[in-house]
Structure 1
Amino acid sequence: MSGVTVQDIVDCLAPVKATRNADPFCLSVGGYVLEIRCTSNELLAELLRYFQHVITAPAEPDRIVHVLGPVELPFAVSFADWAREPGKTGRKDAIADLENGRLIRKVRTGVQFLQTPDWSIAFGPTENNPNQVINFINTQILNHFQRQGWVACHAAAVRTGGKGLAISGLSGGGKSTTMLRLMEVAGTQYVTNDRLLVRQDNTVTNALGIPKLPRINPGTIVTNERLSGLIDEEREEELKNLEPDELWHLEEKYDLFIDDIYGPGRISHDAHLTDFWVLNWSRDSDAPTVVSKISLNDRPDLLAAIMKSPGPFYQTSEGPFWTDRSPLETSAYLSALKDIQVWEVTGQIDFDALFDAGTELLGQP
């Protein structure tokens, strides 16, 4: 870093922060309050729309997130690529470690983030990349609760009055499609689509979703009648004519606003977790879909579908930042999930069969 410090970067960003022309707003998740300060009115409007269900009255924030526009740093920063997870290819994040801070750059877009104990600042072409800003805001929530002892699961989740069901699987394994199908069960609420925080509290397993709306693929849309109209008719017709294998591997993402599709009051990020499905089914199988009770102590191999690295933005409570070589503690997950029933889903991919199983499970007291 050639002696560049956190304060050097903050000083360069200060004139941009001073020009902010949009009113800040606060959001709250699990009692943790973030204040968002944004220099772009256009981007602010997108953030207000996106986080509308967790916006709260102005309050003393636990953390302030600054969202700035383009800034040219007057010094060179040496970045190193952050290693992708197994199965992922291409360059995504690059990091530059400072004393008690880290600068993260998104390789494809050029958006940069300063993460320190005192600062959370996004800058660069943020207005053109709102989803990366949204992810950065949600990262602050994940960071806080992980420092409080919660573990982060790669899972979607829904809840009813008496049940909380998480759903994990390999990327593209159908957890979002399953979760949205289960939203058709009477009394269900959306908890999260991709990140679920879990912590054991005496005999209760608490779960907390982040305000990240489902970002779904075309296969999820064209196989769910309720989602018809989410994309234009011409594109939807093209997708319906694709071969199943083509549709499965198509890389397109669409934001789904739960309130727009399912109506108001269908989101609750807090849940008591009672059950966990691990999707270990296969498109190549002809066997019927089966949902079987298992113990993670006997099947630690399934933890790979559940555990999720905190990522390059995470600074531990002890001080050091997470690295792409830091090991995940399987014991922490086994402890957090020890009092819930885990199920393995095997056989062919049959969303109708899984919906029937979910209807029966979620309907139980």
Structure 2
Amino acid sequence: MTDPQSRLSANVIAERLAGGQALLPGGLLLGLDDMTLRVRSNSAALLENLQGYFSHIVITDADADTDTVIDLHAFECAAPDLSVDYVDWPREAGKAGRKDAFFDLVDGRIVQKVRTGMVFLQSKDHRIAAGPCLENDNQVINFINAQYMNMLQQNGWSICHAAGLVRNGRALGLAGFSGGGKSTLMLHMLANSGTAFLTNDRLFAKRDGASDDGPKVWAAGIPKLPRINPGTALNNPLLGDIVDAERRTELASLSKAELWGIEEKYDVDINQVYGTGRIIGRAPLCGFVILNWAHDSTAPTKITPVDLARRRDLLAAVMKSPGPFYQRADGSMYESDAVLAAEPYLATFAGVPVYEVTGQVDFDRIARQCLALFDDQGGLP
């Protein structure tokens, strides 16, 4: 006898998640490179939060190409119980605990956030978030960004676990192993005028052979604000106010090692902290820096050119799984047991200068040297 769950479609799940709840008229329009998203919800408060977060890409109906708008619905409600047999999505190396669970439909996928109970439907015709959205608006933000990331990957962009900055019209990627400090380094560099934010944790790269100057590798970011730990906030004068005064006093008494281990995250509003006009969506990639330093090292901080083809151990810090929300253009979903291949990354980054940072952690020193990469096309001074 056929299991009824094996015949579930996205249309059926979409109806269950909506549960007869009425969406507010209008919605929030987000204008991205090559894509426009319309976010609708039954919660005015959620839409207000999202409008504030995505303020730099909010557009009006007059600016939108209505023929290519993709709709996403977010229902504020109790955590849905769909009575399906979820399977845990495997965590990356070094990560513990359950985070995402999924159930594959005949034409899409349901993803459940284990800790919050939020449920997401990803299909070609439906993009729905349901559950306590207001309490977990960061997960709704991630789901919105997942739609843009899907489009980029469907169009040949490689996903990288990296931050990115733009200066002098060129982008620099910053990668590192877990806890390596790429976001902290990026925010140090953003304090310099003329430097703009590209992306915090997901950088996309694509080789373009159509340029008059020969092939270029382009870098694209996503509209996701940096999320930092309290140690980063306390050690950067521009970010101190992100943590309230009472909590700052508590954290100031901790050692560096204790601060590093705290699981707290704070959003950095780029426009508010660094000024408007400091966010750029795409730029040619001039180099990649991989942080391979150590907090307990006493060796001098050093930055050295490397060949990724010979140092595949470093490539592991750059490669990133598309994750459970990735849906290919043909509608098929990315498999939980898929193995990332190094060759596409090596092909994309061929000819791009790559540098390894080793020794003790010294953000000021490396920030200065990374800025020099923008200012001197010949390489490091």
Question: Is the shorter-chain TM-score for this pair beyond 0.5, marking a shared fold?
Answer: yes
State the 1:2 CA deviation: 5.2
Greater CA drift, 113-122 or 161-170: 161-170
State the 1:269 CA deviation: 1.6
- Post-superposition Cα deviations, 1:228-280, rounded to whole Å, max 9, x if no partner, equal 21111221122122111001111100011000000111111211111100000
Whether the 8 Å CA contact 1:13–1:71 is kept in 2: the answer is: no
Distance 1:22 1:50, change over 3 A: farther
In structure 1, how many angstroms separate the alpha carbons of the residues matched to 2:307 and 2:255?
37
Alignment of 1:93-108 (within 5 A): 93-108=100-115
State the 1:340 CA deviation: 1.2
Whether the 8 Å CA contact 1:219–1:247 is kept in 2: the answer is: yes
Matched residue, 2:328: 316
TM superposition score normalised by structure 1: 0.96
Matched residue, 2:56: 53
State the 1:117 CA deviation: 1.1
Note if 1:116 corresponds to 2:123.
Answer: yes
- Post-superposition Cα deviations, 1:117-162, rounded to whole Å, max 9, x if no partner, equal 1111111111211000000000000011101110010000101124
State the 1:362 CA deviation: 2.5
Matched residue, 2:167: 160
In structure 2, how many angstroms separate the alpha carbons of the residues matched to 1:269 and 1:2?
40
In structure 2, how many angstroms separate the alpha carbons of the residues matched to 1:255 and 1:128?
15
Note if 1:3 corresponds to 2:15.
Answer: no
In structure 1, how many angstroms separate the alpha carbons of the residues matched to 2:40 and 2:306?
46
Q: Pick from 200, 206, 211: which aligns with 1:199? A: 206
Alignment of 1:252-267 (within 5 A): 252-267=264-279
TM superposition score normalised by structure 2: 0.92
SS of residue matched to 1:164? strand
Q: Pick from 296, 301, 304: which aligns with 2:313? A: 301
In structure 2, how many angstroms separate the alpha carbons of the residues matched to 1:336 and 1:100?
31
Identity percentage of aligned residues: 44
Q: Pick from 92, 95, 114: which aligns with 1:88? A: 95
SS of residue matched to 2:249? helix
RMSD of Structure 2 on Structure 1 (CA) = 1.6
Whether the 8 Å CA contact 1:315–1:321 is kept in 2: the answer is: yes
SS of residue matched to 2:192? coil
Q: Pick from 41, 46, 53: which aligns with 1:43? A: 46
Matched residue, 1:34: 37
Matched residue, 2:145: 138
Matched residue, 1:280: 292
Gaps of 5+ in 1: none
- Post-superposition Cα deviations, 1:17-65, rounded to whole Å, max 9, x if no partner, equal 5x11253121122221111111100111000000000112222144111
Whether the 8 Å CA contact 2:24–2:40 is kept in 1: the answer is: no
Matched residue, 1:290: 302
SS of residue matched to 1:308? coil
Greater CA drift, 158-167 or 203-212: 158-167
Alignment of 1:330-349 (within 5 A): 330-349=342-361
Distance 1:110 1:306, change over 3 A: same
Count of residues paired in the alignment: 364
Greater CA drift, 73-82 or 337-346: 73-82
In structure 2, how many angstroms separate the alpha carbons of the residues matched to 1:302 and 1:206?
20
Greater CA drift, 30-39 or 253-262: 30-39
